[in-house]
């Protein structure tokens, strides 16, 4: 019988921050121009886009985006979503649970609907008046999480512990990942075989993002 763990392996990509800045796609969904977008571009983040609104959850910019910033006001109207941007955040996280979605707003802290589901499911939340470094910090954090080898290995380990209650050592995870990389088959079925996990959808999403870059 074929033993998947004796198959050939392929080195995993070790990307520095400059490489990550070239491949990470950041999308701001905001009906108004926002200076942080130009600041990120000047900091060499090559793929930063602003959408006035979203006409489809499957439109290219959204489907291909890795980090989504959503203004909680003024967007979500084209999809006729309740509560505008907050409703859009809920819809995005339901369709793309592994994308990082950040809620932001120009409202005063006391006015924000703190207990709305959209705020609760967002991965982070910022004020539009937050310092530039706070936006840059989140972008770098989530970009490294997706495309840095060490960060990816830690995410896989955490997902396995969540699903199975335990996880192989980091070196073993890297070994299995390199074999998947050699096959260039990142499907949930293949990931399921290599990691002996039944519901491999979330794990496959992490691996696909990292290896396909």
Q: What confidence tens digit (pLDDT) does each residue in 131-167 have? A: 999 999 999 999 999 999 999 999 999 999 999 999 9
Instruction: Out of 65-74, 85-94, 100-109, 169-178, pick the least confident.
Output: 100-109
pLDDT at 208: 94
Question: Of all residues in the chain, what percent carry a pLDDT higher than 90?
Answer: 83
- Pull the structure tokens for residue 204: 């496959």
Residues 6 or more apart whose Cβ sits within 8 Å of residue 67 = 24, 25, 26, 27, 99, 100, 102, 138, 139, 142, 143
Helix axes 132-147, 149-164, angle to 10 degrees: 70
pLDDT at 83: 86
Burial class (CB in 10 A: 0-12, 13-18, 19+), 128: middle
**Rounded-to-integer distance, Cα 123 and Cα 68, Å:** 10
- Pull the structure tokens for residue 211: 């290896």
pTM: 0.88
Distances (CA, A) of 204 to 68, 83, 142, 190, 207: 20, 32, 18, 9, 5
Q: Where are the beta strands (DSSP E) in 72-121?
A: 100-105
pLDDT at 154: 95
Instruction: Determine the average pLDDT of the residues in 191-203.
Output: 93
Could you identify the residue written with the tokens 């989530």?
Answer: 142
**Rounded-to-integer distance, Cα 78 and Cα 80, Å:** 5
**Rounded-to-integer distance, Cα 73 and Cα 76, Å:** 8
CB 62 within 8 A of CB 27: yes
Instruction: Determine the average pLDDT of the residues in 121-139.
Output: 94
Instruction: Give the SS3 label for residue 175.
Output: helix
Instruction: Out of 81-90, 106-115, 193-202, pick the least confident.
Output: 106-115
Q: Residue 25: which of 64, 69, 71 has the closest Cα? A: 64
**Rounded-to-integer distance, Cα 59 and Cα 27, Å:** 12
Q: Check whether 108 has a pLDDT greater than 60.
A: no
């Amino acid at each position: 019988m074929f033993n998947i763990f004796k198959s050939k392996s392929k080195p995993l990509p070790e990307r520095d921050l400059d490489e990550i800045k070239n491949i990470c796609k950041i999308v701001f969904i905001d009906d108004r121009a926002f200076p942080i977008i130009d600041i990120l571009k000047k900091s060499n983040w090559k793929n930063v886009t602003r959408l006035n609104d979203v006409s489809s959850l499957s439109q290219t910019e959204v489907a291909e985006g890795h980090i989504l910033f959503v203004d909680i006001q003024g967007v979500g109207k084209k999809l006729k979503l309740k509560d505008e941007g907050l409703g859009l955040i809920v819809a995005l996280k339901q369709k793309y649970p592994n994308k990082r979605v950040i809620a932001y707003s120009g409202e005063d802290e006391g006015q924000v609907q703190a207990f709305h589901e959209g705020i609760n499911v967002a991965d982070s939340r910022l004020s539009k008046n937050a310092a530039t470094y706070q936006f840059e910090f989140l972008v770098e954090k989530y970009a490294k999480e997706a495309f840095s080898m060490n960060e990816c290995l830690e995410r896989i380990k955490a997902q396995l512990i969540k699903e199975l209650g335990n996880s192989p050592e980091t070196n073993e995870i890297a070994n299995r990942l390199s074999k998947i990389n050699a096959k260039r088959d990142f499907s949930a079925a293949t990931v399921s075989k290599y990691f002996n996990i039944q519901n491999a959808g979330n794990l496959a999403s992490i691996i696909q993002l990292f290896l396909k870059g």
